Amino acid sequence: MRLTRCQAALAAAITLNLLVLFYFSWLQHQPRNSRARSPRRASTTGPRVTVLVREFEAFDNAVPELVDSFLQQDPAQPVVVVADTLPYPPLALPRVPNVRLVLLQPALDRPAAASRPETYVATEFVALMPDGARTESPGQLERMVEALRAGGTRLVAAPIATANPARCLALNVSLREWTAHYAPAPAMPRCDALDGDAVVLLRTRDFFNLSAPLARPLGSSLFLQTALRGWSVQLLALPFSAARQPPLATAHARWKAEREGRTRRAALLHALGIRLVSWAGGRLEWFGCGKESTRCFGTVVGDTPSYLYEGRWTPPCCLRALRETARYVVGVLEAAGVRYWLEGGSLLGAARHGDIIPWDYDVDLGIYLEDVGNCEQLRGAEAGSVVDERGFVWEKAVEGDFFRVQYSETNHLHVDLWPFYPRNGVMTKDTWLDHRQDVEFPEHFLQPLVPLPFAGFVAQAPNNYRRFLELKFGPGVIENPEYPNPALLSLTGG
């Protein structure tokens, strides 16, 4: 077959078109990072940092001023402003392709990637820029990049020249204990966390690899996550300017922002599983677990509370409420002349370290059955449930012949009271639960009872409690801590 010249030209044109099409399609499918590293980008001094603005109030902010100040230094500066929902009143952002507003709330008419800010960050670094900052000298972000590359930290920060510039803090986060401990940092300028206004710069891949990179308040959230990973932050002496028209200038706006900040912070700590924050000097902040809130773990199945499966111990607020309930119940029993003693896991905790075992979920006391009538609350509980004047609930347990005192009507953290009676020198009872420690024992352990520190007060305990415990749980039980049901879940991970 012979081609005419025209046919040949047409075929060539089609082939060329196809090649061009394939080339562009190939470009489109390159991963973002390799595109960012394309020669055009790397050979020029194009921006290596995206300015990410997350911390601002929609109702009163200086975000447009912040964005303008960066565009004045470099019109190509990428800026991503992140909000949960469309800010109202609307943000007056410049209409240029390198400034984007990203909404985290998924919308029916947008693909999922549209609500993920990492979709819009193509640079190697991000600078987390709080509202109220502006830049006035060129190359501030570049200097932070150089400091990050030179220093041994994953994060660098620069203070903002506001009334509340950044300060260095030490921070220990324990997921197992649900706690965050802050203290002034011993080794400036390397810190675990910052307090006050700062710009923080880190690698984009580190930032978006955090568990909740964009959770607010960004400062609290960021450093809880980085401190847990052992990443420190270096505080540089490269201050950013404060906005000329600072946000939240009126008392009302500040009041509103503080109120919303507190709500956000409580929600954040709840979501990240921090229930107790402590500060140098002993100030404590508790989250969750009041008389009005429900118990922060569900019905315990197989003696193994849900938090143990999450690799965590009893939330500190629950331990506190258990201590309070135990101390109160013991006070009522002593005042009424009811003989009681620490039982089971509670005695074990007292013997080990004078407190509730850090993963225990209730408190157990033994009582003399014949003394029950001495105590008004227990008499009441025999007939039905009694809410006493302090809000504790006394009732007969549904599981068997014992009493239960709940922290409140809503919060079912509890102390169990197990009535025993002597028969031929042996303490016994009529209902038994299927627990190893739920066995008869010689009455001489109770003659006499001995004082033992427990949960912040002094409780009565069986004499010779080491032998008592070994009789109930087996030899070596004090020295070898174990979860309540090692067959389901073991402390040693076995």
Ligand X SMILES: *[C@@H]1O[C@H](CO)[C@@H](O)[C@H](O)[C@H]1NC(C)=O
Which is nearer to ligand X, 115 or 172 (by Cβ)?
Answer: 172
Q: Indicate the residue among 192 and 303 with the shorter CB distance to ligand X.
A: 192
User: Nearest distance from residue 220's CB to ligand X, in Å?
Assistant: 15
Q: In whole angstroms, how close is the CB of 192 to ligand X at the nearest point?
A: 8
- Asked if 291 interacts with ligand X (CB under 6 A), we say no
Q: Total residues contacting ligand X (rule CB under 6 A)?
A: 7
Q: Which is nearer to ligand X, 174 or 241 (CB)?
A: 174
172 binds ligand X (CB under 6 A): yes
SS (H, E, C) the chain: CCCCHHHHHHHHHHHHHHHHHHHHHHHHCCCHHHHHCCHHHHHCCCCCEEEEECCCECCECCHHHHHHHHHHHCCCCCEEEEECCCCCCCCCCCCCCCEEEEECCCCCCCCHHHHCHHHHCCCCEEEECCCCEECCCCCHHHHHHHHHHHCCCCEEEEEECCCCECEEEEEEEECCCCEEEEEECCCCCEECEEECEEEEEEEHHHHCCCCCCCCCCHHHHHHHHHHHCCCCEEECCCCEEECCCCCCCCHHHHHHHHHHHHHHHHHHHHHHCCCEEECCCCCEEECCCCCCCCCCCCCCECCECHHHHCCCCCCHHHHHHHHHHHHHHHHHHHHHCCCEEECHHHHHHHHHHCCCCCCCCCEEEEEEHHHHHHCHHHHHHHHCCEECCCCCEEEECCCCCCEEEECCCCCCCEEEEEEEEEECCEEECCCCCCCCCCCCEEHHHHCCEEEEEECCEEEEEECCHHHHHHHHHCCCCCCCCCCCCCCCCCCCCC
Contact characters 200-219, ligand X, x per CB under 6 A: -----x---x----------
Nearest residue (CB) to ligand X, 172 versus 463: 172
> How near is the Cβ of 251 to ligand X at its closest, in Å?
33
Return the number of the residue (180 or 350) whose C-beta is nearest ligand X.
180
The residue (of 98 and 153) whose beta carbon lies closer to ligand X is 153
Closest distance to ligand X from the beta carbon of 118 (Å):
11
Of 97 and 282, CB closest to ligand X: 282
Minimum separation from the CB atom of position 396 to ligand X (A):
44
Q: How far is the CB of 102 from ligand X (least distance, A)?
A: 21
Minimal distance, residue 458 CB to ligand X, in Å: 29
Q: 174 to 193, contacts with ligand X by CB under 6 A?
A: 181-183
In the complex, minimum distance from the CB of residue 279 to ligand X, in angstroms, rounded to a whole number: 9
In the set 66, 160, 170, 236, which binds ligand X (CB under 6 A)?
170
Q: In this complex, which beta carbon is closest to ligand X, that of residue 144 or of residue 173?
A: 173
Residues that bind ligand X (CB under 6 A): 170, 172, 181-183, 205, 209
